[in-house]
Amino acid sequence: MSEATEAGIDDDLAGLIAGLLRDVPDFPQPGIGFKDITPLLADGPAFDAVIHGLARSAGEGVDVVAGVEARGFLIAGALARQLGCGVLPVRKVGKLPPPTLRRSYDLEYGSAEIEIPAGVLTGRRVLLVDDVLATGGTLRAAAELLAEAGATVVGMAVIVELGFLSGRTALAGLPPLDALLTV
C-alpha cells in the first residue's frame, strides 16, 4: 500500500472514531471530560475498522496482546485474534489468582494498582493496548510490569490519545505508542 493511501485510511479511521466517541463532562468526577468509546465498540463495521487499524500498526512478531482492564480487554481479545496471537489481561488488584506481580501508579483521577499473572510471559513479545491514553500512568505501569515479568514490550496502542494531557511524555523511554485518534 502506498504511503498516501495509508495516510488516507488513517484519516478516515480517525474521522470515524471521532464521530462515534461520546464526550461525557464531569465523569467520573467534576472536571474530567470522559471519552466514552462504547458507541464505537457497539458499531460492528467501526469496531472492525478499529481492530484492523490497530493490527496495521502492530507490525510483525507479536506473541501476546495485553489489554488493560476493563475496556482494554475488549480491544485486546479482538486484536489478538486478528493477529493470530495470544491475549493477556492486565487486571485491577485482587482479581487474579497467585502468583502475580503488581504495581501502583497515579491516574488522571485518583490512583490505582494493577496486577498480571507471573510466570507466563518470559521471552514473549507483547503488544500493550488500552482504549484511552490520558496521563500515561496506566500504560507506563503496565509496560514496566510486563517487563518485570520477563516480557519484551514491542509496542503500545490506544484508540484515543488525549493530547492535551501529554501522556506521551510519561511514556518516554518505553516502546513506541500508536494512537488511532488524537484529540
Contacts with ligand AMP, residue ranges (CB under 6 A) = 32-35, 68, 71, 107-108, 130-138, 162, 167
- Residue 163: DSSP 8-state: G
For the bound state, the minimum distance from the C-beta of residue 11 to ligand AMP, rounded and expressed in Å, comes to 23
Q: Quick one: 64 or 128, whose CB is closer to ligand AMP?
A: 128
- Identified catalytic residue from 71, 91, 124, 140: 71
Helix (H, G, I), strand (E, B) or coil at 52: helix
Closest CA relative to residue 85, chosen from 58, 105, 115, 111: 58
Helix (H) or strand (E) holding 65: strand 64-68
Which cell goes with 84? Answer: 493470530
Q: Which is nearer to ligand AMP, 5 or 111 (CB)?
A: 111
Return the bridge partners of 34, or none. 24
Query: Is 16 or 141 the residue whose CB approaches ligand AMP more closely?
Result: 141
Q: Which triple of cell numbers denotes residue 47?
A: 469496531
- Tell me if residue 71 is catalytic: yes
Alpha-carbon distance of 145 to 165, in angstroms, equals 23
Q: Is the peptide bond before 39 cis (omega within 30 degrees of 0)?
A: no
Which CB, 68 or 127, lies closer to ligand AMP? 68
| Residue of 91, 108, 115, 140 marked active site | 108
Instruction: Say whether 60 is catalytic.
Output: no
Residues annotated as catalytic (active site), given as ranges: 71, 108
